Structure 1
Amino acid sequence: MNIHISEQAVQWFENEMEAAAGDYVKFFARYGGSSPLHEGFSIGITKETPDEPVAEKVINDVHYYVEERDLWFFDGHDLHVDTDPASEELSFHYRVS
């Protein structure tokens, strides 16, 4: 699995979550909502130091990652993070690895 993050999403993380050099941003499976991959689950994000990262992307010295325990959620897909131009909020897309 790979993580892809657009420049607009990087700006979102820096502005909205105050992500700065040395920070860790985790993408995780959370109960509730829905996704194209799993009904009843959606993706969550938090700033947290990793335990067992299985995928990681470093941009501007910010570590974006997924833990081993959340790999099931992505079900063989890469994570693409962008922003929605209309809402200016994050959008998540999943493409087969």
Structure 2
Amino acid sequence: MKITVTDQASKWFQDEMGLSNGRGVRFYGKVYGKTPVHDGFSLALTPDDHPDKPYAIAQKDGVNYFVQEDDRWFFKGYDLVIDYDASADSPQYNYVENDEL
């Protein structure tokens, strides 16, 4: 799994969540909701500055964006591309199929 964060999304996270160099955001799956690739589960996030056993991690502008090994089930087979949706003034999450089994 690969995580990609666009420049615009990085700016949103820094501005809206007060993130700075050395800080982090953990992404995980939660019960209820829907994504383009899951029914009954949705994407959640939380500030977390201490990745422990990351399954995937990307650093952008000094901020760590990551998924823990325990949340592999939610992301397996997909890369996560995090962009910014100006009309909603929020991040946009795109799941891109990969070759992971």
TM range (shorter): over 0.9
Superposed counterparts of 1:1-97, under 5 Å: 1-48=1-48, 49-97=50-98
Superposition CA RMSD, Å:
1.0
Runs of 4+ off more than 6 Å: none
Contact 1:51 1:67 in 2 (8 A): yes
Query: Larger deviation: 49-58 or 6-15?
Result: 49-58
Cα distance per residue 1:41-83 (max 9 Å; x no partner): 1111111122210111011211110001111111311000011
Segments of structure 1 that go 5 or more residues without pairing to the other structure are none
- Native 8 Å contact 1:4 1:79 kept in 2: yes
The separation in 2 between residues aligned to 1:90 and 1:64, in whole angstroms, is 13
**Residues 10-39 of structure 1: CA deviation (Å, up to 9, x unaligned):** 011001111110111101111121111111
C-alpha separation in 2, matches of 1:32 and 1:50: 25
Q: Distance in 2 between matches of 1:50 and 1:32?
A: 25
List alignment gaps of at least 5 residues for structure 2.
none
Size of the aligned set, in residue pairs, is 97
Q: Name the TM-score, length of structure 2 as normaliser.
A: 0.90
